[in-house]
């Protein structure tokens, strides 16, 4: 599609988000993070020209590569993928606006040590496996509040801003909704949490209805574009 058609496509998505958030409250604000992990830098530029500023990557090497190419643009980079400890130094070097997938106490402790060594901090979200699915990373819901409190108390270089979760992997909307509601209930009970990151291309309207204020949208933001850098 040409740029005008593309803008209309994105505008239609924003209209759906607006309609969903207003049903929650006219004061409810929802932020879009465009997941660019399958898209090249030209596709990111194209979406930037329409007005998108926040982009998410799930591989540290791709995040760094795209940052270098697009350094002249005022982009807000989010890291949304699982992270191996041997990539911690690279992630700290990339210095993302938000690390959304902090998923274990062990990873938090390791990240804290590296951040302390470098006298720096990082804003993070605690990933919750709200559907209790073996294939997904994240803290079990029943352990989430204690884990959040532990990180806040013992990892002062990690600034926890809230939580992230992925909706249940099923076509059953009731099951997906329950997983979102589980995450949101935890979010509401956390001290000073401001971000509840839930909802992707297939379920973002449902996620908003359950309280999400940050979406991670990939395929619908980059239609027909499934190539990485």
Span 62-102, pLDDT tens digits: 999 999 999 999 999 999 999 988 999 999 999 999 999 99
- pLDDT surpassing 80 at residue 104: yes
Confidence of residue 227 (pLDDT cuts 50, 70, 90): very low
**What pLDDT, on a 0 to 100 scale, did the predictor assign at position 229?**
38
At CA 13, angle to CA 10 and CA 17, rounded to 5? 135
CB-based burial, 39-74: b 16+ in 10 Å, e otherwise: bbbebbebbbeeebebbbbbbbebbbbbbeebeeee
Return the CATH architecture of domain 3-217.
Answer: Alpha-Beta Barrel (3.20)
Residue spans of the domains in the chain: they are 3-217
């Amino acid at each position: 599609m040409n740029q005008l058609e593309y803008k209309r496509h994105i505008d239609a998505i924003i209209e759906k988000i607006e309609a969903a958030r207003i049903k929650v409250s006219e004061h409810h604000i929802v932020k879009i993070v465009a997941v660019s992990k399958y898209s090249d830098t030209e596709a990111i530029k194209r979406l930037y020209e329409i007005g998108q500023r926040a982009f998410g990557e799930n591989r540290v090497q791709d995040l760094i590569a795209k940052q270098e190419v697009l350094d002249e643009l005022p982009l807000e980079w989010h890291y949304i993928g699982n992270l191996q400890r041997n990539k911690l130094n690279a992630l700290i070097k990339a210095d993302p606006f938000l690390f959304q997938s902090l998923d274990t106490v062990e990873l938090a402790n390791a990240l804290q040590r590296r951040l302390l060594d470098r006298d720096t901090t990082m804003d993070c979200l605690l990933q919750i496996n709200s559907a209790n699915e073996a294939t997904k990373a994240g803290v079990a819901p029943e352990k989430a509040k204690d884990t959040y409190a532990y990180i806040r108390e013992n990892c002062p270089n990690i600034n926890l801003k809230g939580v992230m979760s992925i909706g249940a992997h099923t076509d059953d909307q009731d099951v997906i909704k329950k997983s979102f509601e589980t995450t949101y209930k935890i979010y509401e009970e956390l001290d000073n949490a401001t971000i509840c990151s839930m909802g992707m291309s297939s379920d973002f309207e449902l996620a908003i209805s359950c309280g999400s204020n940050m979406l991670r949208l990939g395929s619908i933001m980059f239609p027909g574009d499934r190539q990485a850098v």
